[in-house]
A and B are shown apart, each in its own frame.
Chain A
Amino acid sequence: MVPSVTHPALRELIVGTKEITTAKFGFNLLLTNNRIQYKKNPSETTVKQLAEQTHEFLTRYESLYQSELKQIFSGDYRA
């Protein structure tokens, strides 16, 4: 199950302090656009909004993103 939307790893992913390696185009597009938006407006409101979108994406595509989820949430993610 994907950890909660308030998990700190999502914030780290958005602000760019956590990096993950993936060849999956959809996630790379989402991640890069998130960082562009955060750079334009580096507020906690932006982080919250982008974290919600990222969480929704990962929840929808959980079955395709096992490797990425393990990288993002480490031991907090179990398939």
Chain B
Amino acid sequence: MLNKIDEVAKKINSGKALLLAGSETALSQLPKGNWIGGTTSYFIDADGGTFSDSSIFVNELPEFAKDFKVSEYTTQTLPSIGAEAPEKGFTVLILPAGSAVHTAYAEGAPRYEGFVIKPVVGWVSGVPLPEVGRTEPKVFNGKTGESSSSHAVAMHVALPPDKIADIEIVNVFKPGHGDKITFPVSGFVQEQCSVNGKPMNFAHYLSSVGADLRLPLTANYNGSVINVSIQATEEATGLVRLYAPVFAGVEYTFAEPVNDYVAAFESALPENRKDASFACNCILNYLYANLGGHSAGSVPSMVTFGEIAHQLLNQTLVRLLIHDV
């Protein structure tokens, strides 16, 4: 939920363990304590989508999650995140958008020790859209009070024996029935692709078919749909920049158009809407669905520049659920 800075400071001073999202100005004013944070100024609260530089979105760890540890990671140490995670619990990870750790996690996570077995949930921090390219997204380590635009920050949370963590995604997109696209190499920047088995330049392909770049590429992971959103195409160089990496060996199709995002979120949410311990939604959903002032599936969340549900996702609502065993 959105809180004023002084309200968050009180929670920190009371010793609560918190996951915080807010502007750099807001997060910089907080006292040291048991928290990690990442920059964003976009949120979905009870009243709907909103922009604020002075409020902070607060996720409190549940009362039973008393055993936690804050760690920072570089590109060199990030692959050990699973090894450092508790045997039973979950990890919340925040990556600054556009940083080397962002790229490293997005491309490497499926090969890290403990991938999926030890749940990692989290988000990519960002900046107000007019400041993209001029201001660096940050992550905050509340234990030290320091921020970074190059390190990742994580909170490893152990759970008692009668609790278990599970990550759920809510994706309003469905794979379309158009061309089947594959890529010879994995990564955020793509030049070549195969379309229905025929090699071609990806940027030229997108231009030739007049692709709606608001729609993500989708991949079917045994029934779960994973999105990869397109950031920009460069006709001159023939390069296409993506908000998450595509993976060689995975087949992609463009998503079907979504006419009513809010209705689509409502219908995509499971019937048993257990309150999530943590949730984040994508800035592209916020923008393309025009969520400013509108609710989205009744799920309060921070609005982020990439979502982590084990691996990096795009245009997806991610929820952490903690079940009784």
- Residue numbers of A with Cβ under 8 A of B are 20-33, 36, 39-40, 53, 56-57, 60-61, 63-64
Contacts and interface: CB of A to CB of B under 8 A. Distances in A.
A60 B222 contact: no
Nearest to A40: B249
Given A22-B223, A29-B224, A64-B323, A36 B310 contact: no
- The size bracket of the interface on B is 20 to 34
Contacts of A32: 221-222, 250
Given A30-B116, A60-B117, A25 B164 contact: no
Contact of A57 (B88, B117, B222, B309): B117
Nearest to B119: A26
Given A22-B222, A26-B116, A33 B325 contact: no
Contacts, number: 60
B116 A57 contact: yes
B323 A25 contact: no
A52 to B, nearest CB: 10
Contact of A26 (B223, B249, B310, B325): B310
B223 A28 contact: yes
B247 interface: yes
A31 B247 contact: no
Contacts of B167: 25-26
Contacts of B169: 25
A23 B164 contact: no
A28 B249 contact: no
Contacts of A31: 221-222
A61 B222 contact: no
Contacts of A39: 249
Interface in B172-212: none
B264 to A, nearest CB: 17
Contact of B168 (A20, A25, A36, A40): A25
A28 B116 CA distance: 10
B55 interface: no
A33 B226 CA distance: 12
Nearest to B169: A25
B293 interface: no
Contacts of B222: 20, 22, 27-28, 31-32
Closest 3 interchain pairs by CB? A28-B224, A32-B221, A28-B222
A23 B221 CA distance: 10
B166 to A, nearest CB: 6
Contact of B250 (A23, A30, A36, A61): A36
A32 B250 CA distance: 9
A29 B223 contact: no
Nearest to B226: A29
Interface in B210-248: 221-224, 226, 247
Contact of A25 (B115, B224, B247, B249): B224
A21 B247 CA distance: 23
A25 B222 CA distance: 9
Given A22-B222, A28-B221, A36-B250, A64 B116 contact: no
B49 to A, nearest CB: 24
A40 B250 CA distance: 12
A15 to B, nearest CB: 14
